[in-house]
Amino acid sequence: MSEKNEKDIEQIVPEENTEETAQEAAQDTVQETAEETQTKTEKEAAPKGKGFLKKDKNKIRIEELEKKVEECENKIAKDRDDYIRLMAEFDNFRRRTAQEKLDIVSMASTETIKGLLPVLDDCERALEVLRQSNDSEAAKEGTELIYHKLLAYLQSKGLAIIEAKGQPFDTDVHEAVAQFPVQEEDQKGKVFDVVQTGYTLNGKVIRFAKVVVGI
C-alpha cells in the first residue's frame, strides 16, 4: 500500500470515531439529565407525601379528640340531670316524710282530743244541773272553772265549737236527729235546739253537732 493511501485511511478512521463518540456522549448526557430529573422529582414528591400523611394523621387525631370531648360533655350533662332528679326525689321524699310525721302527730292529737270531748259533755251537763239546783255557788263556780280551763286548753290545740242554735241547718257541720214544728217562718230550716255540741279541730269536723231542726 502506498504512503498516500495510508494517510487517507488514517484521516477517515478518526472522523468515524469522533462521530460515534459524540453520539455516545449525547446519549449519556440525556440519560444523566433524565436520571437527575427523576431523582429531583422523587425528592420533591417524597417530602410532600410525608406532609400530607402527617396532616391526615393530625386531622384524624383532632376528630378523635373532638369525639371524646363530645362524649365527655354528654356524660357530664347526663350526670347533672341524674343529680338534679335525685335531689328532686330526695326533696319530695323529705317533704312526704315530714307530712307523714305531721299527719301522725295530728291524728294522735285528734284521737286524744276526741277522747276528751265526753268530759266536756259531762261538764256541760253538770253545769246545767247545777244552774237548775239550789246547790251552793261554790260548786257551780268550781265546775265552771274546770270546764272553762279544759275548754281553753283544747281550744289552744285548735279545737273550736260549731255554732248551731239559730243557724241555718248545714249538713257539712250539723246532724239532724229530730224535727220540731215552729210557728215563725224565719225559724223554719234552722236549728231549733242542740242535743250534742259539735266541734272542729284546725278547721276539720271531728264531731258533728246533733241538732233539732225547725220545720
**The residue count for the chain:** 215
Boundaries of domain holding 210? 159-215
Asked if residue 121 is part of any domain, the answer here is: no
pLDDT for the residue 173:
93
Asked if residue 132 is part of any domain, the answer here is: no
Asked if residue 58 is part of any domain, the answer here is: no
Asked if residue 83 is part of any domain, the answer here is: no
Higher pLDDT, 108 or 54: 108
pTM higher than the cut 0.75: no
| Interval 23-44 mean pLDDT | 56
Confidence of residue 14 (pLDDT cuts 50, 70, 90): very low
Element (H, E) at 212: strand 209-214
CATH number of the structural domain spanning residue 186: 2.30.22.10
pLDDT for the residue 57:
78
Asked if residue 41 is part of any domain, the answer here is: no
Confidence of residue 33 (pLDDT cuts 50, 70, 90): low
- The CB density around residue 51, as the number of other CB atoms within 10 Å, is 10
Q: Is the pLDDT of residue 206 over 50?
A: yes
Asked if residue 164 is part of any domain, the answer here is: yes
For strands 204-207 and 199-201, give the pairing: antiparallel
Higher pLDDT, 151 or 50: 151
Q: How far apart are CA 121 and CA 127, in angstroms?
A: 10
Sign of CA dihedral 75, 79, 84, 85: positive
For the chain, what is the domain count? 1
Q: Grid coordinates 248551731 are at which residue?
A: 164
Q: Is the pLDDT of residue 191 over 50?
A: yes
Asked if residue 59 is part of any domain, the answer here is: no
Tell me the Ramachandran region of residue 136: left when phi exceeds 0, alpha when psi lies from -120 to 50, beta otherwise: beta
Q: How far apart are CA 145 and CA 143, in angstroms?
A: 5
pLDDT for the residue 5:
47
Asked if residue 185 is part of any domain, the answer here is: yes
DSSP readout, 34-101? HHHHHHHHHHHHHHHHHHHHHHHHHHHHHHHHHHHHHHHHHHHHHHHHHHHHHHHHHHHHHHHHHHHH
Q: How far apart are CA 159 and CA 114, in angstroms?
A: 10
Percent of the chain with pLDDT over 90: 27
Biggest distance spanned by C-alpha atoms of the chain: 197
